[in-house]
């Protein structure tokens, strides 16, 4: 019987925060991560890989601005920018996974799928945009752009400037998940739901699928995909080996195991911030609660261990 693992690449798997972000740097990290997750194939899993796109789509938005300001090249909307990032990152993971496989005796096809994710147009998140995207602006620039384009800006907590914010609605459905399931069950490695997916909604009046300016959390979208295709395990790859409580404090403690009840308790206590471990914990809870199966949060280095990271169970 086919065992399926969904592996959500964190940003660290592609790009380190202190780097310029050249393609050479990204390809190097991607190859190293692909080499590590081959250990899951050896444990008998067929793989679906999902990934973030924060730095990459940010660069695409910067190119948008520069192209328009210098050459009057029409700006592309956010959904097209997310699709661009899915294509570029999907290609990069595809090629580096093939390179990693070529260094083993394993034979696998690899395919990347542009993935749309359905959201609810009535999601309350649209009334409270919180997800920052694109470049930093001076207050005066942000005010002008907000007035001209009907955009919303918020000041960066670290006082680096003002950034446009968009909604981050809950994912409702992953389009073509059945295609992903069929491919992985046939033994192919599938790359899907990049950057949380391209957010779309169904206009019931027009009976028309429309794009909407939003960003879906990639861990929550990955958890939904894992549920829909009935994955046996859900791995979230991040830059720490385990989940911690009292993180970065003198009494920090690594957790080998967490029940859903314990995870919810610590989350509600504020142990897992929204900009850090929070979305990963929520995604793991969502998957485990709805499937009764296991989720693991760890880093790429520990994937090859017998019992890596933090195991989240019912």
> What are the residue boundaries of the structural domains of the chain, listed by start?
7-110+174-313
Pick from 32, 40, 85, 282: nearest CA to 184: 40
* Separation CA 177–CA 32 (nearest Å): 27
Residue 185: the pLDDT is 97
Write the pLDDT tens digit of every residue in 25-67.
999 999 999 999 999 999 999 999 999 998 889 889 989 989 9
* Separation CA 8–CA 193 (nearest Å): 9
Residue 16: the pLDDT is 79
Whole-structure pTM value: 0.94
Residue 234: the pLDDT is 98
Residue 118: the pLDDT is 98
Pick from 252, 242, 246, 254: nearest CA to 284: 242
Instruction: Give the pairing of strands 162-166 and 131-137.
Output: antiparallel
* Separation CA 42–CA 236 (nearest Å): 18
* Rounded alpha-carbon distances, angstroms, from residue 156 to 64, 127, 133: 21, 20, 11
Class of 7-110+174-313 per CATH? alpha beta
* Separation CA 115–CA 141 (nearest Å): 34
Q: What six digits make up the tokens of 246?
A: 């009292």
Residue 11: the pLDDT is 72
Residue 158: the pLDDT is 84
Could you tell me which residues come within 8 angstroms of residue 44 by beta carbon, excluding any fewer than 6 positions away? 3
Residue 292: the pLDDT is 98
| Ranges of the chain whose pLDDT falls below 50 | none
* Separation CA 211–CA 216 (nearest Å): 13
Pick from 54, 10, 2: nearest CA to 222: 10
* Rounded alpha-carbon distances, angstroms, from residue 216 to 71, 127, 190, 202: 31, 15, 20, 16
Write the pLDDT tens digit of every residue in 103-146.
999 999 999 999 999 999 999 999 999 999 888 899 999 999 99
Residue 19: the pLDDT is 85
Catalytic residue numbers? Answer: 11-12, 131, 218, 280
Residue 160: the pLDDT is 92
């Amino acid at each position: 019987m086919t065992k399926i693992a969904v592996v959500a690449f964190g940003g660290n798997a592609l790009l380190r925060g202190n780097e310029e972000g050249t393609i050479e740097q990204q390809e190097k990290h991607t190859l190293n991560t692909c080499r590590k997750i081959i250990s899951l194939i050896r444990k008998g899993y067929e793989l679906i890989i999902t990934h973030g796109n924060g730095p990459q789509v940010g660069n695409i938005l910067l190119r948008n601005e520069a192209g328009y300001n210098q050459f009057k090249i029409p700006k592309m909307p956010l959904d097209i920018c997310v699709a661009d990032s899915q294509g570029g990152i999907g290609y990069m993971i595809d090629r580096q996974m093939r390179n990693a496989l070529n260094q083993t005796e394993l034979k696998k096809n690899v395919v990347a799928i542009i993935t749309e994710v359905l959201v609810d147009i009535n999601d309350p998140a649209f009334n409270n945009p919180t997800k920052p995207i694109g470049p930093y602006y001076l207050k005066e620039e942000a005010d002008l752009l907000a007035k001209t384009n009907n955009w919303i800006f918020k000041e960066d907590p670290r006082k680096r400037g003002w950034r446009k914010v968009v909604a981050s609605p809950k994912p409702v459905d992953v389009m073509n998940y059945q295609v992903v399931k069929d491919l992985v069950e046939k033994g192919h490695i599938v790359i899907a739901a990049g950057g949380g997916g391209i957010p779309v909604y169904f206009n019931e009046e027009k009976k028309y699928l429309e794009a909407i300016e939003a960003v879906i959390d990639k861990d929550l979208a990955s958890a939904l995909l894992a549920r829909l295709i009935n994955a046996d395990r859900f791995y979230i790859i991040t830059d720490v080996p385990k989940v911690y409580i009292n993180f970065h404090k003198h009494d920090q403690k690594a957790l080998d195991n967490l029940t859903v009840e314990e995870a919810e308790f610590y989350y509600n206590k504020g142990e897992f911030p929204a900009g850090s471990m929070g979305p990963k914990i929520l995604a793991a809870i969502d998957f485990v609660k709805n499937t009764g199966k296991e989720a693991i949060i760890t880093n790429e280095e520990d994937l090859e261990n017998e019992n890596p990271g933090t195991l989240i169970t019912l």
